[in-house]
Amino acid sequence: MEYFLQQLINGLTLGAIYGLIAIGYTMVYGIIGMINFAHGDIYMVGAFIALMTFLLLGFGGTPFVAIPVALVIVLVISMLFTAVYGWTVERVAYRPVRGSFRLAALISALGMSIFLQNYVQLLQGARVKPLPPVIQGNIQLTSGGDFDVTISYLQVMIIVLTVVLMAGFTWLIHNTSLGRQQRSCEQDRTMAALLGVDVNRTISLTFVMGAALAAVAGTMAVMYYGVIHFFIGFLVGIKAFTAAVLGGIGSLPGAMLGGLLIGLIEAFWSGYFSVEYKDVAAFSILVLVLIFRPSGLLGRPEIEKV
């Protein structure tokens, strides 16, 4: 039972990171009906920006600022710079082909993904980049048995931050003018434009918000794992896309639910079976869901307008 609880904690932590990235996929799809396959590399860029900021603040040797202040600075800088990358991806890779056939946007996004990978590889090199532990220590939940269950302060921070961001994001979508504009563009972009909504601005802000959340996930990942490299965005992006589809593409709660499920599947499979096949287990669950519930767990079937 203790081992089960430990893997549950690990799975929730990993799932929280996947969920933050999956929200970016589901937002873009909900508004323009296209998958941003460069989103995983936006997450990678956010992780590198966070790493460089940590090192500039002295966390590669003797830090000269307190850890809470450093975390705020790193998150803000990473979100701001990564948001600029998200805005650029929309302007360069999506807006010019928005009125074209869907395959054009897919090819454009894949091209942007390859460009970002090679761009970071040229700037940072192909070697793994380490980060010394920033937050240390843990809380012991159980003791005295065969296995001590612990949750680290970093895991607590990741889970709490994800819950806060999800709650704040849900409030923004449902209670602000920008949220109403996003929901109107999701339903009918043409009618929204006729009613005075700046569709281009709304779509750009959607990319910016998704990139900012991916930056938070990248910051948490570099702190959690302690190493990153230029190719981390590919596999994580595929898993986050899987999470978005699993929960129901276009549904924000579904994206978070899908991320948590993917994280839990990986954690339990790695703990009780072979770690080499954890990706196979996650994608197998996706295949089963698509066979028996094609719209995802919380998704709604699309109704084609005629």
Round to whole Å and give the CA distance between 285 and 288. 5
Contact 45, 80 (CB under 8 A): no
Neighbours of 138 (CB within 10 A): 14
With cut-offs at 50, 70 and 90, classify the pLDDT of residue 31: confident
The pLDDT score that the predictor gives to residue 98 is 83
Residue 104 lies in a domain: yes
Residue 225 lies in a domain: yes
What would the mean pLDDT of 93-104 be, rounded to a whole number?
Answer: 85
Residue 292 lies in a domain: no
Out of 76-80, 103-107, 202-206, pick the least confident. Answer: 103-107
Residue 48 lies in a domain: yes
The pLDDT score that the predictor gives to residue 302 is 61
The pLDDT score that the predictor gives to residue 278 is 86
- Residue that wins the pLDDT comparison between 41 and 282: 41
What would the mean pLDDT of 158-180 be, rounded to a whole number?
Answer: 91
**What are 299's two structure tokens?**
């998704």
Residues above pLDDT 90, as percent of the chain: 57
Residue 151 lies in a domain: yes
Residue 23 lies in a domain: yes
What would the mean pLDDT of 274-302 be, rounded to a whole number?
Answer: 82
What distance, in Å, lies between the first and last C-alpha atoms of the chain? 54
Residue 205 lies in a domain: yes
Contact 40, 240 (CB under 8 A): yes
Tokens 């948590």 identify what position? 260
Round to whole Å and give the CA distance between 274 and 265. 12
pTM score:
0.93
Total domains present in the chain? 1
On the question of pLDDT at 101 being above 90, the answer is no
Q: Domain span at residue 124?
A: 2-231
The pLDDT score that the predictor gives to residue 146 is 72
The pLDDT score that the predictor gives to residue 19 is 93
Round to whole Å and give the CA distance between 253 and 244. 10
Q: DSSP secondary-structure letter at 152? A: E
